[in-house]
Amino acid sequence: MKKALSATGLVYSTDAGRMCPDCRQPASACVCRLAKALPRSDGVARVSRSTKGRGGKTVTLVTGMALDEPALLQLGKQLKAACGSGGTVKDGVIEVQGDHCDQVMQALAKQGFAAKRAGG
């Protein structure tokens, strides 16, 4: 039993809080999180419109961006400002409230990203 517990490593410490199970560093200083590869992408941003699961409200989705989290948040902020709308960034997908597919595609083109209209 002791061998199995020691093999799993430290999960929580009162000194640093939660610990990363992979690199065994505090979660705030995790080095393996920084070393993770960028999401796979073909280099083309897909811009689509969706209403699923939003009570009939329309949102514009931007997927397929091979950017790290801070860069994706910054791009999301710029796209929301270009459309004059709210939105969020979740799981590598930028959501802009409203039907702004054309405006988002123009804003992406200005920043040098290749964008395609997806889904109709």
Query: Strand order in 44-50's β-sheet?
Result: 87-90, 93-97, 59-63, 44-50, 114-117
List, in order, residues 6 or more apart from 65 with CB less than 8 Å away: 39, 41, 45, 72, 75, 92, 94, 113
* The pLDDT value given to residue 3: 45
| Overall domain count for the chain | 2
Q: Which has the higher per-residue pLDDT, 115 or 2?
A: 115
pTM: 0.66
Q: What is the per-residue pLDDT for 33? A: 61
Q: Are residue 97 and residue 61 in the same domain, yes or no?
A: yes
Only one residue has tokens 């000194």, namely 15
Question: Using CA atoms, how far apart are residues 90 and 106, in angstroms rounded to an integer?
Answer: 22
Look up the CATH number of the domain holding residue 76: 3.30.780.10
58 and 111 belong to one structural domain: yes
Residue 31: which domain range?
2-35
Whether 52 and 78 map to the same domain: the answer is yes
Q: What is the pLDDT of residues 32-90, one digit of tens each?
A: 765 554 556 677 889 999 988 888 899 999 998 888 888 889 999 999 999 999 999 98
Reported as a single tens digit per residue, the pLDDT across 104-113 is: 999 999 988 8
CB neighbours (10 Å) of residue 87? Answer: 20
64 and 24 within one domain: no
pLDDT tens digits for range 96-106: 999 999 999 99
Asked whether residue 93 falls in the same domain as residue 50, the answer is yes
